[in-house]
Each structure stands twice: as structure tokens, then as C-alpha cells.
């Protein structure tokens, strides 16, 4: 019996998938990662989408003009 892969959904951040992983995109591209954990972007702000580049951390809070708050 295979051990289930752990996929962790974080609050306001990426989905963390235990690697290695093969990611198939709608446009036909395929990305492979042999990292121990791969972070998948869910905010769509990442410059390296579908991988997370931590851009989600600079997301503004509703009603705030300061991106750091």
C-alpha cells in the first residue's frame, strides 16, 4: 500500500505539496520539481507561477493603503 502524499493548504499562502511532483498546466506545459516540498501559488501574483515566489506576502489588506500592513 502506498503512503498518501501530504498536501498542506496554508492560510493566505501557497499549497505545499510533498515532492517530487510533476505539474501539468492547461497550456500543455509540464513542470517537474524534485524539491522535498513544492509551494504552488494560489494568489496568482507569483512571477514564476504556478510556483510560489512569496509575492503573496505583500498582499494588501482590505482598506489599507500600506502594503506592509
Query: What is the nearest approach in angstroms of ligand FES to the Cβ of residue 28?
Result: 22
Contact of 11 with 57, CB cutoff 8 Å: no
Which of 58, 39, 57 is closest to 49 using CA atoms?
39
Grid cell in block for residue 61:
489588506
Q: Answer yes or no whether residue 33 interacts with ligand FES by CB under 6 A.
A: no
Q: Answer yes or no whether residue 38 interacts with ligand FES by CB under 6 A.
A: no
Q: Answer yes or no whether residue 56 interacts with ligand FES by CB under 6 A.
A: yes
| Binding residues vs ligand FES (CB under 6 A) | 13-14, 41-43, 45-46, 52-56
Amino acid at each position: 500500500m502506498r503512503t498518501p502524499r501530504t498536501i498542506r493548504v496554508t492560510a493566505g499562502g501557497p499549497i505545499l505539496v510533498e515532492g517530487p511532483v510533476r505539474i501539468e498546466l492547461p497550456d500543455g506545459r509540464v513542470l517537474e520539481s524534485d524539491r522535498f516540498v513544492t509551494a504552488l501559488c494560489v494568489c496568482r501574483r507569483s512571477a514564476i507561477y504556478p510556483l510560489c515566489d512569496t509575492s503573496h506576502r505583500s498582499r494588501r489588506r482590505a482598506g489599507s493603503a500600506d502594503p506592509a500592513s
